[in-house]
Structure 1
C-alpha cells in the first residue's frame, strides 16, 4: 500500500481459503460494507478439499472457554439463518453427552454448570431419558447424560455456498483453482498475493487456509503454530433399527451423541438408502501430517484432507461402539477415511494481525463448531479495530518464543488431540515437554520438595513438601476429590506463615518489559490510564485499554530513571501491543528471561531484608509503591515496594546469573525469622482475600475499569490516552454489572471458578476466580453480577457439580481494608 486509503470500505482484501471460515469471513466483511473482497482456493468450489469438505459438522456450544462458547453460539445462530436451495444449513437436533463412568458423570454436572454460566440451554438426564433420545443405547451401561437442545449439525459445504452467494451479491469474488505461491510485501506491509494465475493486489491478506496455514505463513514469513493431525471417521451400513424415523431430506434427526469415555461421537446420516451412523474417533494414536507434503487437489486420491482409512486403528473404537450400541453388532463399517484438521499447542485458534507483517491476518485452527463466530470476531477486528468478544485466548501473540518451536508445537498439538475428550482439571498441566523454563531458584525449589505446575512454559511451585510439618494439626475442611486435585493442606500453612512471619515467593514468571528512550514517558502516558509523570523511584498501577475502553491488561510501571521504565505485564500480547504503538524514539523489550524475582512478604519482611543492605528500608525512607536500586549482600537488585498478598514486603529483581545467590542470601538471612518458601496456591488465596484482580480471569477487554472495580487506576486529568474517550460518562455508579466479592456461607465449601451464580434461583453471572481464604476461614469467589445484586449482604447461590452452595456478597477487601499491614 503506497498511502492511506481514501475510504476504508475500499480496502482490498484477499482471503486465502474458501472453507467455512473463509466464506463466513467474506460474508461478514461484505455485510459491513467492504467492497473489494476476493476469496482464493487451490481446489474447485464450493468443496475445495480442505477440512470443511469432509467435516461431519458437529456444533457443541458448551466449552470451558467463554470465548469459544460465544463463537459456537454465534455459529448456531448464523448458520441457522442460512438456507441453500431452500434447505437449511443447520439442523438443531441437539447434543447428548453420555457418561459411563462416575468421573464422566461428575464432569457432566460441571459441564451443565458451564452451560449455565455462558447462557447455553442444557439439562442432565437419567439413563432412561437418554435412551428415549437414542433408542440404540444399552441403557445398563449409562449413568446419565447432558442434553443441549440447541446444539446440532452444520451442513458445512451448503453453508459455504449460501454465504458465498450473499458475499458475491455484495461484490465479493470467489476464485477456485488458484494456488497461492507467494505473498508480496513492502515496507513491512502486505501488498499482494501471488498465484499461479497472476498477482492480486491486497491491503489485507487473511490466511484461513486450515491445515495449510503453516504453508501460507511461511510464504509471508509469519510463524503459524499449528499441527495438522488425521482423525478417523467411519460410516456404517444402513441400520434397519433406525429406518423410517426421519424424512430423508432432513439428513439427520437424533441428537449428536458423544461417548467421551471412549473418545467417540456418533451422528446419523439419513438418505434414500436408509439411516447410517457416522462414527468419529479420537481414541487412536496421533497421526501428524506435514502440511508441506499434502498433495494438491488434483493429485490427491480423494481430496487433500482425506487420507486412507486405517482399519487397525479403528478396531478398538468399533468394539466400543458395539458395546454402547449393541445393534451395531449386526452391522459393519461400510466406509471410512482419516480426515485432516488442525491443533495448536493449547488447543485454541490462532487469530489476529501479524505485527511483523502488517495487513497479514490469521484465522487458523478453527473448526466448523466455531467458524461463524471466529469470522465475526476477525471481521470486527479488521473493520472496527477490535472484536466485541474477548479473544486473548486466541490471539496469535499469546505464545511465548519457547512455545513456537516446531518440536513444541508438534508435541503439544499431538497431546491436545489425545486429550480432546478427556476430563481435564482447570489446573492440569501438559505432561511434556517439562521442565522447559525454570527460574534460577529451581535447584533450591527441588531440594525443598516443590510441587510444580506449568504455565507459559514456566515451572511454578504451588507448594513445598518441606513445609508439610507446618500443616500438621491444622483444622481444615475436607475437600471433595475435584477441588483436592493439585492442592495440598501445605498451602494453608504457607499462607499462615506469610501472614504471621515471612515467606519467599518465586515471581520470576511475571513478565517484565523495559521501556526506554526520550519519548518513553509520553508513550506510556498515551498508552495507559494512570498518571505516570512522577519522579524516578515511583511505581504506579495502571491499565492498558483498547479504543473502546476494554481492559487489555493491567500493568505495574516502575520509573527507574527519567527515560527508563520497568513494566510488569501479563502476556506476550502486552509486548506485542506496545511494540505496535511505540514511536521511533522509544525502545520496548522483554527482559523476563534475563532476570528473576523473589517476593519477600510478611510482617517480618523488613527484619529479614534490612540487615542485608546499607540503604534505609524503613517505611519513611522507602514507602509503598516506591522503587530503588540497591544491593542485598553481594547482589545488585531493583527493589519494588509492592505486595500482591496484602503484607509488608518487596519484589526483588536481579539478573538471572545472580538469582541463585539472591535466593541463598535471603534464605540464610530468613532462618532467624522462620522464613519459608511459599507457592502459588497460597499466593492465590492471599491475593483474593486482599481483592487483587487477575487479568484474563477476573477482567478482559469485555469489561471497563469502573465495573471491574479499577476506576482508581484511571486518571483522566492527565490528558489523552488510548480508551479515554470511551470512558467518558462511565463510573462505578453507572455500571450495570460489577466484579463482586462473594464468600461461601459454609466454611467447608469450595469452588474453583467459572461456576454459575444464581440470584433468586436464576443464573445471573459467573465466578471468575476463587480460592479458599485461609485467613478469613472460608472460600472467596469473585464473580460478575448485575449491579443490583452486587450489594453487600445479598444472598446468592453458586452451582458446583449440581449442588447449590449458599454465598453472600461481601464488602471488599476482606483482609486489612485500611492497608495497615502493607503501609507500615
Structure 2
C-alpha cells in the first residue's frame, strides 16, 4: 500500500481539527497538527467564538460550506450531547429597506437549497418572545440554522482523529517553514523540525505571520470584535420553553437572532443573553503587541485572542439592544471582551497553495460557520486535486499584487467590517481606495463623464454622461422601460443609447482590465495543448476560444489563445487565478524537461486594449490604417500585426458584443494616442465611447458566457453550452477522461436562456427559478436586452425545461413569468460578426 504524504497542519482550532479529521477519514493519517496553545484551549478565535451559524450567503460556495458544517456538527456528539443546537435563525427587519433585503436573502437561500420563510412581526415574536414587536416589521426564519459549540467540537474532532492515527501536539509554536528546491520540506519548532511534504496553515489571524515564514503574503487583517454576556434575564428563566440537552455554554431555546439594522446579533447562554456588535469603530490588531499568555496560564478569560473590553464602544449598542429586547432593561453587562478574528479585502476566506512554494497551503479567515465545509474542500484539494465545491471565490491567488499590500488589506478589511450588515447592491463600488489601476484612456473617459465602477483595482466605465444627448435621438423601439429602484441602482438609461450606437454605428470599449498573459518559449505550445481543451496547434495568426478544465472535467476557466508566432502566445485570461495556474504548470514542465522551458508573463499593466465594434467599424479604421481589415485580410478569430496611425498594434478579429470589429492591443505608452486617433477618425460615423452597462446587455443577447458567473468549476462544458469549444481531434488534455465519463451520464442541469414575459422586469442574478411550481434552478447573469426589447436572464435549470416552457423568477418575493428561449437571441447566423 502506497504511503500517504506527510502533512503538517498549523493550528488546532475548528478549521485545523476538522481538516485533520477530513484527511483521516479519507485514509491520510500521516498527519501532525501543531498549536502554540494547549490543545484543550488553544487561545485562538475558536476558543471564544459565539458559534452562531447563519447559513444563507450571496455566495453559493459559502452557503454550501455552511450547510456541510451544520450536518457535520450535528453528527458529532458525546454522551448524547451534540455539537450543534439547531434552534433556527431569525433575522428581523426594523426598517422597510431591511425587510426588502430579507426577501432578497430568502431568494439566495432558495437558490442554494436552504429552506426559509419571510414571517410577519407576530410570528417573529412567537419564535422570539423577548422581541419588542412594535419595532419589528418582519423577519427571515431559517429552521436549520443554529448554534455551534466550537470548543466542544474541536475536542471531539481531536479525539476522533487521534484514534485514526493523527498526531496532535500542543504548546508548540512554529518558528519557521523549511523548504528546498521550491518545495516545502518541514516545519521548525523549538523541539526540532517536523518533516513534511505538505504544510497547511490554519492559524487564523496568525496566518500572515505563518505565511511570511514561507515567503507568502496572506492578505488578512486581525480585527477585534465586541461580545458581551448579560447577567441573568428573569424572562428567559420564566419562559422555560423546553429543556435543552446541550451544555450550559451552548444552551438555547430561542433562535439565534440578528438585528442588522443596528449591527447586532444575539444568542442565549442558559439564562443569559450574549450580544455581538459590529457597530463600533474598526479595531485593527498588531500581532506583535498581543498579550503573551503562556500555555499553562491559558483560561477562558485569559488568552491571546481575548482583549480588554472597551465599554465606551459598546454603550450605544447596549441601548439599542434594550430597545429591541426590553427584557434586558432588568439586566446588566456581566462580562465583555474584544475578541480577535480575521477579515480580508473582499470578506471571503483564503484557501489554496502558495504561488511560490509548492506544498504550502493556507485555509485562513474561516469562521466557525464555514469551518467543516472548508476543511472538506481542502482535504479534497489535497487528495483529489480539486474541491467538489468550487473554490474560485476563495482562492488565495484571486487578489492582484496591489490588493495584497498591507495598506490595501488594512483599509478594505476595515471597510468590510463596517459594512458587514449593510444592505449592499451587487454592483456597489468601493469608495476607497480608488484609481489604483487606470487605463491610458482614463483621462479621456473622465472628460466624457464616465461613471466608473471598480473591479480588481481597475476603474471601469459603465456609461458616459457625454452620451446623454443621444437619448433625444434614440428611436422609440430602443427605449428601455423604467427599472425598479433596486435594478436601477448603478445603471443608467444612457446604456440603451450606447447599445444602439454599437448595433447601428460604431463604439469604442475599454478592454484594458481583462487579464493578458504572454506564454512563450520552446515548450509554450505543449503547455497550452496540455492545459486547454481546444486545438492550439495551428499556424501563427490563429486565435482559439477554449476552456481550461479541472481533472474532474469541470470548467476551470475560459480563455482565448492567440498564436503570435511559433513560440509566443497571448492568452486572454479571467484573472490572477489563471496566471497562478499557468505559472505553476510552466514551472513544473520546465523542471521536468529544461528543453521545454516556458515563460509566463502578466502583460496586462504594460499593454492596453480597445474594442472597436459596430457595423461602421471598417469605415473608421480605414481612415487611420493602410492595413487590410477586410474579410480576406483578417478573418474572424484571426490576429495580425498592423499599424494604426503609425502605432504598432496587435489586431484580433474578436467581438464579445456580437458586432463586426476588433480587439486592438498596443503597449501602454501608445494607448492614449490610439484612442484619440480612433475617436477622431470615427466622428463622421458617429463614434461614441461605450461602457459596461451596454457591454453586458449586448453579450447576453449574443449568448456569451461569463466565467465565474454563468459557469464555474462545478459545471461541465456541454451543460454550459460550450461543447463547441472542445477539440474533436484531441483527447490528451487535463480533464479529458473525466469529461468523457461525465458526458456518458445524463445531464442533471443545463444553462438556459430566459426572456421575461412582461418585457419590463429586470432581475440581477442569483434569484431562484421555479419550473412546474418547484424551485428548480437559479439565475446567473441578467440584463435588459436593448436590441431584443425585453429583459434577459440565463439560468441553470433541469434538462426537462425546454424551449417555450414557462418558468418563474422570484424577485424580492414576487414571481415573474419568463420563457425558456432559443439562443442566441441576436444574429444566430453570425452574419453581423463575419460581415
Fold match, TM over 0.5?
A: yes
Quick one: which of 520, 539, 553 aligns to 1:549? 553
* Separation in 2, partners of 1:248, 1:268: 12
Q: Is the 8 A contact 2:553 2:742 kept in 1?
A: no
Query: 1:118 corresponds to which residue?
Result: 112
- 1:662 maps onto 2:674 in alignment: yes
Q: Is the 8 A contact 1:84 1:159 kept in 2?
A: no
* Separation in 2, partners of 1:326, 1:282: 21
Q: CA deviation at 1:144?
A: 0.4
Query: 1:507 corresponds to which residue?
Result: 511
Output aligned runs, 1:682-697, within 5 Å.
682-697=694-709
Quick one: which of 818, 821, 824 aligns to 2:829? 818
How many residues align structurally? 813
Query: 1:91 corresponds to which residue?
Result: 85
RMSD of equivalent CA atoms: 1.2
Q: Is the 8 A contact 1:711 1:731 kept in 2?
A: no
Query: 1:315 corresponds to which residue?
Result: 315
Query: 1:171 corresponds to which residue?
Result: 165
Query: 2:432 corresponds to which residue?
Result: 432
Query: 2:521 corresponds to which residue?
Result: 517
- 1:615 maps onto 2:627 in alignment: yes
Query: 1:103 corresponds to which residue?
Result: 97
Quick one: which of 147, 150, 157 aligns to 2:151? 157
Query: 1:576 corresponds to which residue?
Result: 580
* Separation in 1, partners of 2:603, 2:516: 6
* Separation in 1, partners of 2:39, 2:746: 51
Quick one: which of 796, 802, 806 aligns to 1:784? 796
* Separation in 2, partners of 1:104, 1:196: 52
For structure 1, the residue ranges without an aligned partner over 5 or more in a row are: 1-5
- 1:191 maps onto 2:185 in alignment: yes
Query: 1:533 corresponds to which residue?
Result: 537
* Separation in 2, partners of 1:65, 1:248: 32
Q: Is the 8 A contact 1:257 1:266 kept in 2?
A: yes
Query: 1:221 corresponds to which residue?
Result: 215
Quick one: which of 707, 715, 726 aligns to 2:719? 707
* Separation in 2, partners of 1:351, 1:149: 29
Q: Is the 8 A contact 2:546 2:560 kept in 1?
A: yes
Quick one: which of 585, 589, 593 aligns to 2:605? 593
- 1:357 maps onto 2:361 in alignment: no
Deviations 1:16-50 (A, max 9, x none): 10100000000000000012111111111122100
Query: 2:22 corresponds to which residue?
Result: 28
Q: CA deviation at 1:634?
A: 2.5
Name the SS for the 1:258 alignment partner.
Answer: strand
Q: Is the 8 A contact 2:221 2:342 kept in 1?
A: yes
Q: CA deviation at 1:728?
A: 1.4
- 1:48 maps onto 2:42 in alignment: yes
Q: CA deviation at 1:522?
A: 1.6
Name the SS for the 2:16 alignment partner.
Answer: helix
* Separation in 2, partners of 1:248, 1:340: 29
Q: CA deviation at 1:202?
A: 0.9
Query: 1:281 corresponds to which residue?
Result: 277
Q: Is the 8 A contact 2:244 2:253 kept in 1?
A: no
Name the SS for the 1:630 alignment partner.
Answer: strand
Deviations 1:728-762 (A, max 9, x none): 15549942311110001011111000000000111
* Separation in 1, partners of 2:374, 2:440: 40
Name the SS for the 1:542 alignment partner.
Answer: strand
Query: 2:594 corresponds to which residue?
Result: none
* Separation in 1, partners of 2:744, 2:619: 40
Deviations 1:649-688 (A, max 9, x none): 0000011111100110011001111000000010000000
Query: 2:470 corresponds to which residue?
Result: 470
Q: Is the 8 A contact 1:138 1:326 kept in 2?
A: yes
- 1:13 maps onto 2:17 in alignment: no
* Separation in 1, partners of 2:748, 2:37: 50
Q: CA deviation at 1:62?
A: 0.3
- 1:645 maps onto 2:661 in alignment: no
Q: Is the 8 A contact 1:647 1:821 kept in 2?
A: yes
Name the SS for the 2:642 alignment partner.
Answer: strand
Q: Is the 8 A contact 2:555 2:713 kept in 1?
A: yes
- 1:295 maps onto 2:307 in alignment: no
Q: CA deviation at 1:532?
A: 1.2
Name the SS for the 1:462 alignment partner.
Answer: strand
Q: Is the 8 A contact 1:15 1:208 kept in 2?
A: yes
Query: 1:3 corresponds to which residue?
Result: none
TM-score, normalization: structure 1? 0.97
Name the SS for the 1:743 alignment partner.
Answer: strand
TM-score, normalization: structure 2? 0.96
Q: CA deviation at 1:199?
A: 1.4
Q: CA deviation at 1:139?
A: 0.7
Query: 1:759 corresponds to which residue?
Result: 771
* Separation in 2, partners of 1:782, 1:289: 44
Name the SS for the 2:276 alignment partner.
Answer: strand
Q: Is the 8 A contact 1:84 1:158 kept in 2?
A: no
Query: 2:224 corresponds to which residue?
Result: 230
Q: CA deviation at 1:477?
A: 1.3
More off after superposition, 694-703 vs 350-359: 350-359
* Separation in 1, partners of 2:36, 2:666: 53
* Separation in 1, partners of 2:560, 2:10: 40
